Every structure is written in C-alpha cells, then in structure tokens.
Structure 1
Amino acid sequence: MIVVTASVTVWPETFEEARRLSLEHVHRSREESGCISHAVHVDCESPLRLVFIEQWAHRDALAAHFAVPTSGEFVRVLRSLAAGPSTLELYDATRLEKL
C-alpha cells in the first residue's frame, strides 16, 4: 500500500475556493481504481492549511491517479491559491492486522 500525505496553506480570501476544489478532487479520486481512501482535513492549529491523506493499493494506481488530467489541473489551480509552498510525501506501508 502507498500512503500519501500532502498539505497546502492558502490565503484567507482563497480558503473557501480551495476547500471546495479539494473536496471535489477527493470525491473524484475515491472513484479511481486502486484508491483505498482519500481525504482532506483542515489543520486545527493552522486553519488555513489543508491536509490530504490518501491510501493507494499500489504504485501503479497512484501513478494512474497522477496522470488523470483533472488531477493535474487541480494541483495547478490549488497552487495558484496557495500562500506558500505545498508538501507531498509518499510512503510504502504494510498494514498490520494486530499490534
């Protein structure tokens, strides 16, 4: 499984548009093959920061997601609303059934 974490901090005047676009992107992405989960959250300590947490079945599914034209357009538009640089981190993960 691949886990993706990403974040972006936006301007106060662009927050609502960024939130709306992010939710649209999340809902669209959940329908893609190999998507286990895809969510966006508002950081409680920094309320203009949106945090994305995703789980993908494998790297090919994530690569296909990145290749979807609407995903690229989403990233381009979200960057135009950002107050600073965004983050994106990928992790190979193994699910533990029991601790």
Structure 2
Amino acid sequence: MCYHVRFPQAVTLSMIIVKGSFPIKADQQPVALDLVQSLASASRKEPGCLSYEVYVQADEPRVIMVWQQWSSLDALELHFGSDHVDAFLDAIPDLIDGDVQSARYDVTSVDGEPVIEEAKEIAPVVLAGNITVH
C-alpha cells in the first residue's frame, strides 16, 4: 500500500517519527500497558511532541507498539533524557520477552513534496538483564 501526501503550498516542514515494538511476557501485558500508557501520557506534554500513540499488535497481542512524532531531533533527544523515559527504561526489562525493535524516520517536505529519509537505526541501549533495545 502506498500513500502520497500533498501539502497545500510550497513549504519546508520537518518531523521525526519513531516506531517501536516491545514483546511482553504474556502474564505481564496489563502491567506493561499501564507502564507504556504512563510514558505516553507524560511524553505528550513535552515540547515538540506532536503525537505519541500506543497500540497492541493485532496479529501478535503480546507485542505493544509505540508511534511517536516529534517536531525536531532536539525535541526527541530531550525526550530521551527525561525522567519518565528513565523510569520506563528502569521498569520495562522485567516485562520483556524477546527483541525490542525501534526505528527513526526523518520526514521533510520541500516545495510541497514529502521526502522520507531511510530509517535510521537508533543506537542500542542495554537494559538490566542484558536486554538490548535496538
């Protein structure tokens, strides 16, 4: 499926999109959902957060997905340094069952035509229990 987005006038816009997925232990999903929803709620209040959405993957209900949109890389970096992200990263390792995945997309529009740069790998973070967030 392909989507073509048209902007109404010739402008230059930018946005950072982060997509992540967390495979959760089956008996820990309610706890993990509360944790991720708490992170999302705090993140939505941050300057530069355009959207922060939480989903349960339809074909694999134990996987929680997040979709974030940020106005700039600076806003995203401030987010990653926030207390609520630190609290999330401290709490999530005990709930994970599998590989955590994340990708960053840099989106711009020049003269009304969207340009999406190839996904950029976010530097891995090693959590407690040697769980690596990619």
TM beyond 0.5: yes
The partner residue of 2:61 within 37, 47, 53 is 47
The residue correspondences of 1:80-95 to structure 2 (distance < 5 A) are 80-94=94-108
Structure 1 position 12, deviation (Å):
1.1
Unaligned runs of 5+ in 1: none
Mapped partners of 1:85, 1:92: distance in 2: 23
Instruction: Give every structure 1 segment of 4 or more consecutive aligned residues whose post-TM-superposition deviation is greater than 6 Å.
Output: 96-99
Verify the 8 A CA contact 2:51 2:70 in the aligned structure 1: yes
Aligned pair count reads 99
Q: For residues 43-92 of structure 1, give each alpha carbon's deviation from its aligned partner in whole angstroms, at most 9, with x where no partner exists.
A: 00000000100000000000000000220220231122000120111110
Mapped partners of 1:88, 1:69: distance in 2: 20
Higher Rg: 2
In the alignment, what sits opposite 2:84?
A: 70
Mapped partners of 2:84, 2:94: distance in 1: 15
Say which structure is richer in helix: 1
Structure 1 position 98, deviation (Å):
7.8
Name the CA shift for 1:13/1:95 in 2 (closer, same or farther; >3 Å).
Answer: farther
The partner residue of 1:19 within 22, 33, 39 is 33
Verify the 8 A CA contact 1:8 1:50 in the aligned structure 2: yes
The TM-score normalised by the length of structure 2 is 0.69
Verify the 8 A CA contact 1:79 1:86 in the aligned structure 2: no
Mapped partners of 1:94, 1:76: distance in 2: 33
Q: CA RMSD in A?
A: 1.7
The TM-score normalised by the length of structure 1 is 0.92
**Aligned pair 1:9/2:19, yes or no?**
no
Unaligned runs of 5+ in 2: 1-14, 115-134
SS of corresponding position for 1:84: coil
